[in-house]
Structure 1
Amino acid sequence: MSSPLSPVTLIRNVRVPYGGADHAVDIAVEGDTITAVPPADRSAASTATAPGSYDGRGLLALPGLVNAHAHIDKSWWGLPWQSYGGEGTTEGRIRHERARRDEIGMPSVEITRRVLDQFVAHGTTALRTHVDVDLGLGLRGIEVVREALAAYGGALTAQIVAFPQDGVLRRPGVLALLEQAAREGVDHIGGLDPATIDRDPVGQIDALVGLSAEHGVGIDIHLHDPAELGAFQIELVLDRVERLGLEGRVTIAHGFAVAQLADSRRRDLLARMGEAGVTMTTVAPLRLPQLPLHELDEHGVAFAFGTDGVRDLWSPYGTGDLLGIAWQYARASSLVHDDDLRRVVEIATGAGAPFAGLPANELRVGDRADIVLIDAENPMDSLVRTPPREAVIAGGRLLVG
């Protein structure tokens, strides 16, 4: 067995699902890139142990899981149990978190590393994480996250969203912090419920798209507001994307409104989102309608899954298993047919890679060597059982196995 972070140059005897059928292959890797995927060589000579060789033992190989909506800076993983407190509203959770985060040492490099370790153990090789930016923290959370990620030596791919959890406009100075974060290299700036948090949807959205246009960063905005109120804010975003030429730069996180609209209204909105390249992420909330898989695909609206917070002051739940979130989405959406289950796995893995700034991944020559090995019959079986991840390779380096 190779040591953690050791380079892998050949993964022998794995099954890769191409075109709905499994193919027994070897996967050759050079650096962080797949260079060849020949049929599996099961000859005696091929089974000899060599440096950089990993025996896949006939396991199912999938592209690494992509966690497109995480909050790795604000967990209490590894600390004594933290009882749920405060009020259950968005405002209540914000206040409770602000009151207690310093007491438990949030954000912390050590805790953030623990969360990342959980992600990796469950097969995540790339992520997009929202990191709190506010007047109390400044940009310290971003520094913490970067330091925690550095321990993976570039094997783990991550994009950072500077996230104004406490609002953008209602706290003077936050917008300046977002601009500073944009100048200092974050991938995206965030927003939060422009209508109900800042109570100024036009003002918040104009401020965010202005920074995006000036600094070339993306926008990833939390939008919890329901039905027509949420749709109205998405339309405000679309107006500005179209006017300023920001196609392909905006993600709507949560976007509960989309699943709550009347059918014709939802389809019209999705068609416009697809044309503008506006993407979505979901954490598959159990108590709300799910984003409609077939309609999103029909209108070209790319979407991906995220774990949201994991054991944080908003909720004690979360294991860091992105495949478990995909399972939750499929089950709550009543998806049962093979094509749909396979599609959900694609979204959770290679199709989600652009949400972390990577090309889509199908484990073909030229793709990044982000690979998870699972003891499963096929992708559908891996989704409905979510078995343990037997090996995790990120950027051509063995992280688990």
Structure 2
Amino acid sequence: MLLPPRITALRGIRLDDTPGLHDVLIHDDGLIGSIEPASDAPVGATEIDGRGLLALPGLVNAHAHVDKSWWGLPWQSYGGEGGTDGRIRHERARRDELGIPGVEVTRRVLAELVRHGTTGLRTHVDVDLGIGLRGIDVVREALADYGDALTSEIVAFPQDGVLRRPGTIELLAEAAAAGVEHIGGLDPAGIDRDPVGQLDAIMAIAADHGTGIDIHLHDGGELGTFQFDLILDRTESLGLQGRVTIAHGFAIAQTDAARRRDLLQRMAGLDVSMTTVAPLRLPQLPLHEFDAAGVRFAFGTDGIRDLWSPYGTGDLLGIAWQYARSAGLVRDEDLRRVVALAGAAASPFVGAETAGLAAGERADIVLIDAENAMDALVRTPPREVVIGGGHPVHRA
């Protein structure tokens, strides 16, 4: 794709927390210069008419798998066995025939994410003995189309396990040396059957190379909370504070309130964060408990239309809707908080300390036909315009 040039202003938009129409002036470095009451002057050639649409900060997809989809290919019927290990085997058996990973299909996935409002992305990319680091190269090539319009980070993800596949540790170290932002892991107990061994290995790589850790933890119940403790122990001993994310982490919503309170207190002290894809039929991360403890979490779309599941649209706001609905959140303050978690509040997950619609922040903006943030969440209307770093990357 040819990246559109930056605009100089969004004219006549509405803000969620301020009455009236406003203009967002954008500097040539892609930052917001100022937000001012709307001018009556005609819309210029390098400006976009906001048409009174609601402006929200760009969305941050903090847990994606853009390398794994069959988006744009003929329909692929669900096959293979269930469960994490069964889906791994099915994916390994069929990915080559579908050209996974491939640059073109990754481009199609990115286009879906962007047209739904994503301007910040953390994606897991498979690293294993079958494809080596090829998936990372594929994703980087596809991401390059967006230049600085899309803020992104890559997690080197050992989808097939770590210790049970000798040579994977070395591949992860190679990925770290090649500049990925995070090293991943997968169910140290459930997949590798050696939680201490897997965590020691991947967290040592992170400590040695200065990367983050972003580990898939599906193991539930006490087995899962036990691994939370192991992760927190190593975060502290290796000095990885602020660099560790636990993805999914079903166990923390399944355990009793006292145990969860202790874990959250410890996570807050070590600045360990979480991501969730708001899974159906499972308890959701408790918003008020996380906020009270000061533990950060963000949303992700997970894989979309891949060999794990035919579901997924790439709409991060839709995941936020699913979370709010499943968690029984109905009050304005909670709905507005969920929208923030889908956007500006998730900016640290893509390496930004702050974000939002304010002077000096990146011009990552979504225009949507909604009354306010709550209305945008519960209706998830189409994104009319998406601006990434000042570039209009989508216009309906």
User: Taking structure 2 as the reference length, what is the TM-score of the superposition?
Assistant: 0.98
1:117-136: per-residue Cα shift (whole Å, max 9, x none)?
A: 00011010110000000000
1:301 corresponds to 2:311: no
TM-fit CA distance, 1:39 = 1.5
Which residue of structure 1 lines up, in the alignment, with residue 152 of structure 2?
158
1:323-342: per-residue Cα shift (whole Å, max 9, x none)?
A: 00000000000000000000
1:29-81: per-residue Cα shift (whole Å, max 9, x none)?
A: 1121001111122x2xx2x2323211101110011011000000000000000
Q: Within 2, Cα distance between the matches of 1:196 and 1:209?
A: 18
The farther-off stretch of 354-363 and 277-286 is: 354-363
1:198-237: per-residue Cα shift (whole Å, max 9, x none)?
A: 1110011111111111100000000000021111101001
1:57 corresponds to 2:51: yes
Q: Within 2, Cα distance between the matches of 1:255 and 1:385?
A: 28
Which residue of structure 2 lines up, in the alignment, with residue 37 of structure 1?
35
Residue 130 of structure 2, aligned match among 133, 136, 139: 136
- Report how many aligned residue pairs link the two structures: 393
Which residue of structure 2 lines up, in the alignment, with residue 339 of structure 1?
333
1:5·1:152 contact (CA, 8 Å) conserved in 2? no
1:4·1:400 contact (CA, 8 Å) conserved in 2? no
Partner SS state of residue 259, structure 1:
helix
Which residue of structure 1 lines up, in the alignment, with residue 22 of structure 2?
25
Partner SS state of residue 96, structure 2:
coil
Q: Within 2, Cα distance between the matches of 1:199 and 1:22?
A: 56
What is the 5 A alignment of 1:60-79?
A: 60-79=54-73
What is the 5 A alignment of 1:110-259?
A: 110-259=104-253
2:11·2:43 contact (CA, 8 Å) conserved in 1? no
Partner SS state of residue 7, structure 1:
coil
1:253-306: per-residue Cα shift (whole Å, max 9, x none)?
A: 000001000011111111111111000000000110000000111111100000
- Segments of 5+ residues of structure 1 without an aligned counterpart are none
TM-fit CA distance, 1:15 = 1.2
Q: Within 1, Cα distance between the matches of 2:338 and 2:43?
A: 36
Which residue of structure 1 lines up, in the alignment, with residue 383 of structure 2?
389
Partner SS state of residue 14, structure 2:
strand
2:22·2:35 contact (CA, 8 Å) conserved in 1? yes
Q: Within 2, Cα distance between the matches of 1:78 and 1:253?
A: 27
Residue 96 of structure 1, aligned match among 65, 70, 90: 90
Amino acid at match of 1:155: A
TM-fit CA distance, 1:23 = 5.0
- Segments of 5+ residues of structure 2 without an aligned counterpart are none
What is the 5 A alignment of 1:276-315?
A: 276-315=270-309
What is the 5 A alignment of 1:256-267?
A: 256-267=250-261
Q: Within 2, Cα distance between the matches of 1:224 and 1:348?
A: 22
Partner SS state of residue 6, structure 1:
coil
Amino acid at match of 1:396: G
2:3·2:145 contact (CA, 8 Å) conserved in 1? no
Amino acid at match of 1:17: D
State the identity %: 67
1:172-195: per-residue Cα shift (whole Å, max 9, x none)?
A: 100000000000100000000000
TM-fit CA distance, 1:4 = 5.5
Q: Within 2, Cα distance between the matches of 1:156 and 1:55?
A: 22
1:167·1:198 contact (CA, 8 Å) conserved in 2? yes
1:133·1:141 contact (CA, 8 Å) conserved in 2? yes
1:346-376: per-residue Cα shift (whole Å, max 9, x none)?
A: 0001111111112331210111110000000
Amino acid at match of 2:296: A
Q: Within 1, Cα distance between the matches of 2:173 and 2:30?
A: 33
2:107·2:142 contact (CA, 8 Å) conserved in 1? yes
Partner SS state of residue 154, structure 1:
helix
Which residue of structure 2 lines up, in the alignment, with residue 9 of structure 1?
8
Partner SS state of residue 16, structure 2:
strand
1:17·1:23 contact (CA, 8 Å) conserved in 2? no
Amino acid at match of 2:5: S
Amino acid at match of 1:16: L
Q: Within 2, Cα distance between the matches of 1:320 and 1:125?
A: 12
Amino acid at match of 2:351: G
Flag as ranges the 4+ runs of structure 1 deviating above 4 A: none
